[in-house]
Amino acid sequence: MRKGQLMAQPLIYIFALIVGALILIWGAKSVYDIMERTDAVNTAKQIDAIKHDVKIYAQYDKGNTKTIVASKFPSKIEMFCFYDAKSSLNPMLDGRKKSLTGLGYEGAVKSYFEHEPDKNFLILPEGAVKQARTSYYIGPVRLKPEGGNPLCFKTKKKFRITAMGGYVTVDAVS
């Protein structure tokens, strides 16, 4: 072997290691992005299912109910809230007289719905799912939370929607 060939061989190995490391980093980032999109899709599916149920039950006779478990939300989402802009603010958690203050969300929830009165559904914490919005409009039916406004639920908790003839109420299942 010539002297020039001996000097070039380690450079080729170093270059191959750098290219391999870059490919691994790119692959890891791609997998992470897919996981983030999965969370956004599951969030959208859950919200669409709730929208669908509210729309259907608004057409039913007064008193028809359905119990829903919001089980498709990703684990990053800690809670979700229903809000009625026509009622005064009184945030509650899971339909109990337990306020959101201890969780650190009460101020955020109040300010959010005061600044966006056209929205009636919120997921917390804000920005938990990067490619999903934080607030949504579940309509065109009036949605009225019972026992608090906004009425928040931790994920995986049961809640009930009830047809009231022209609007739908949301309350906690005990």
Beta bridge partners of residue 37, listed in sequence order? none
- pLDDT value for 26: 96
Beta bridge partners of residue 69, listed in sequence order? 158
- pLDDT value for 43: 83
d(C-alpha 50, C-alpha 73), whole Å: 12
- pLDDT at residue 23 greater than cutoff 90: yes
- pLDDT value for 36: 82
pLDDT digits 0-9 by tens, 86-99: 777 777 776 666 66
- pLDDT value for 71: 79
Say what the alpha-carbon torsion angle 87, 89, 93, 95 is, to the nearest 10 degrees.
-30
- pLDDT value for 19: 96
d(C-alpha 108, C-alpha 39), whole Å: 22
According to the per-residue pLDDT averaged within each range, which of 11-20, 45-54, 64-73, 129-138 is highest? Answer: 11-20
pLDDT digits 0-9 by tens, 30-60: 999 898 888 888 888 888 888 888 888 888 8
